Amino acid sequence: MARTTIEDLFIHELSDVYSAEKQITRALPRLARASTNPKLKAAFESHLEETRGQIERIDELVEGAGLKLKRMKCMAMEGLVEESKELLDEIEKGEVLDAGLIGACQKVEHYEIAAYGTLIAMATKLGMPDAVSLLSDTLAEEKAADEKLTAIAEEGGDQAATLSQ
């Protein structure tokens, strides 16, 4: 489908982020199992539940607006998930891996923050206040997840572990 209108682009971007969220739900359990930091493990498990809620929010938005998502794979998220798999394959469990996982997950959060911010701007332009509200809730959760990861890294000294290697 050609993206010739803001609505076309909105549907494309929403389909893309939907795929991204689905990929994250498959990756987070692996990351939680690999983490040795109890706070990081808990953050991954908590964000998994949050992500499931975000998918439900997209479903609600699509149903409420009468949209049809495209079947597609978010290539950016596929790459970010692959990077986290490489960490799991290359680094032994411990502080250094935890630091790498925090960095990998913050890349994911930043991608999602950008995606949801863009979707909110498009929904605003399209006059979709319900979509703006639902997307804004998700954006706030993504920002909070990023802040939580930063706090875990700072209090656990994980960033220092990464820099000393």
pLDDT digits (tens, 9 = 90+) for 62-121: 999 999 999 999 999 999 999 999 999 999 999 999 999 999 999 999 999 999 999 999
CATH number assigned to the domain comprising residue 111: 1.20.1260.10
Please tell me the predicted confidence (pLDDT) of residue 165. Answer: 37
What's the rounded Cα separation, in Å, for the pair 13 and 15?
5
Please tell me the predicted confidence (pLDDT) of residue 156. Answer: 72
Looking at residue 37, the DSSP 8-state letter turns out to be -
The pLDDT of 134-163, averaged and rounded, is 83
- What is the span of the domain harbouring residue 77? 6-156
Please check whether residue 162 lies inside any domain of the structure.
Answer: no
Q: What is the largest CA-CA distance in the chain?
A: 52
Please check whether residue 94 lies inside any domain of the structure.
Answer: yes
pLDDT surpassing 90 at residue 158? no
Please tell me the predicted confidence (pLDDT) of residue 161. Answer: 43
Strands (DSSP E) found in the chain:
none
Which tokens go with 138?
A: 């998700």
The pLDDT of 134-160, averaged and rounded, is 87
pLDDT surpassing 90 at residue 6? yes
User: Over the chain, what is the mean pLDDT?
Assistant: 93
Please check whether residue 78 lies inside any domain of the structure.
Answer: yes
- Total structural domains within the chain: 1
Contact call for residues 90 and 120 (beta carbons, < 8 A)? no
**146 contacts: CB under 8 Å, gap ≥ 6:** 106, 109, 110, 113
Please check whether residue 113 lies inside any domain of the structure.
Answer: yes
Looking at residue 127, the DSSP 8-state letter turns out to be T
Please check whether residue 20 lies inside any domain of the structure.
Answer: yes
Please check whether residue 1 lies inside any domain of the structure.
Answer: no
Would the pTM of this model clear 0.75, i.e. be above it? yes
pLDDT category at 3 given cuts 50, 70, 90 is confident
Please check whether residue 165 lies inside any domain of the structure.
Answer: no
For 111-157, the DSSP string reads HHHHHHHHHHHHHHHTT-HHHHHHHHHHHHHHHHHHHHHHHHHHHHT
Please check whether residue 164 lies inside any domain of the structure.
Answer: no
For 74-89, the DSSP string reads -HHHHHHHHHHHHHHH
